[in-house]
Amino acid sequence: MKTIVVKCLTLFCALLFAHSILAMPTGGDQSTKSYSARGVVEKIAPDLRQVTIHHQAIPGYMMEMTMDFNVKNTNELSGISPKDEITFTLVVGENDEWVESIRRVGHSAGTMTNKMSMPMEMSHGMMMAELKPGDLLPDYALMAEDGQQIHFSDFRGKALAFTFFFTRCPLPDYCPRMNNNFEQTRKILSTDTNAPTNWQFLSISFDPEFDTPDVLLNYADVYRGDNTNRWLFAAASTNVLADVALRLDLMVMRQGDNISHNLRTVVLDPQGRIYKQFDSNQWTPQQLADAIMQAAHLSSQ
């Protein structure tokens, strides 16, 4: 009897403990972050509290664009005038962001501004990054199911089909359908004796905190079964995802444990260039198999 009681109590304690872990905020670091950047001054506000900078890409944070930045210390802008090339530090706090450590490094004759000037500003700078067929996908690093870091370039020489998902995805016609389609497509390619053999599948989670290698492996089992040939599961870090999302028009919106997202499935050719993109969930395994076969043949060229 005693043992049952003890077991009961232990169970509840365990539950309590488990929940306290699950309920812990996952917001992460809330302190300020600083980014070094470079750009050309376009405009300075009369009160010296704002500066418009056409800046180069700020890795891990923002694509190249023209943007208004707040300046906390107005002395920072003394001696700086429009068209000056500057280096600066972008500080991103919890509720605001500003630039500091502004240093003039040269004067632009407007070349950078002219070259990049587009009939759009601000958010639209981000869309300049969207990739089209024939464009090379940057060589991102991912965390694979075995805990090892992999790169897209590891699959050079093969047609690579990749899609995005997260293991807690509750909608059957979203992530599960993508991975089911991958399994169907893999069957088509494996059984077709005329099909090339230089192809690979890659399912990428956009939930790296939850989708650890162990979680990925368990999830992969459901779709891959015992046959792990030519199909790898991995997770993308938030930094990588921020860039990938812009380039592939992938929409990801985290809401607590759930993620609202659209679907992007991409076939790269053996040189790592975009061959074909499948949007949404209406494509068939046969269509994907056809694209992979066509892309795989491009290796000889």
Which residues of this chain interact with another protein, rule CB under 8 A? 1-2, 4-5, 8-9, 12, 15-16, 19, 23, 61-62, 92, 94, 97, 120, 122-124, 126-127, 171, 174, 206, 238, 241-242, 245, 249, 251-263, 279-280
Q: In angstroms, what is the minimal distance from the CB of 202 to another protein?
A: 21
Comparing CB distances to another protein, the nearer of 124 and 187 is 124
HSE of 108, CA atoms in CB hemisphere, 13 A: 23
Alpha-carbon distance of 286 to 211, in angstroms, equals: 29
Q: In angstroms, what is the minimal distance from the CB of 1 to another protein?
A: 5
Element (DSSP H or E) covering residue 144: strand 141-144
For residue 106, the cross-strand partners are 85
Comparing CB distances to another protein, the nearer of 51 and 232 is 51
Comparing CB distances to another protein, the nearer of 155 and 164 is 164
Comparing CB distances to another protein, the nearer of 28 and 225 is 28
Alpha-carbon distance of 190 to 188, in angstroms, equals: 6
SS3 of residue 108 by DSSP: coil
Kindly give, in sequence order, each residue whose CB lies less than 8 Å from that of residue 38, ignoring residues fewer than 6 positions away.
55, 56, 85, 86, 87, 88, 105
**Torsion angles phi and psi, residue 109, rounded to 5:** -80, 15
Comparing CB distances to another protein, the nearer of 13 and 298 is 13
SS3 of residue 172 by DSSP: coil
Alpha-carbon distance of 26 to 12, in angstroms, equals: 24
Q: In angstroms, what is the minimal distance from the CB of 116 to another protein?
A: 15
Q: In angstroms, what is the minimal distance from the CB of 161 to another protein?
A: 19
Q: Which two tokens stand for residue 194?
A: 């005329």
Q: In angstroms, what is the minimal distance from the CB of 277 to another protein?
A: 9
For residue 44, the cross-strand partners are 51
Comparing CB distances to another protein, the nearer of 4 and 109 is 4
Alpha-carbon distance of 151 to 161, in angstroms, equals: 14
Q: In angstroms, what is the minimal distance from the CB of 279 to another protein?
A: 6
Q: In angstroms, what is the minimal distance from the CB of 42 to another protein?
A: 18
Comparing CB distances to another protein, the nearer of 197 and 255 is 255
The residue among 52, 90, 54, 50 whose CA lies nearest residue 70 is: 50
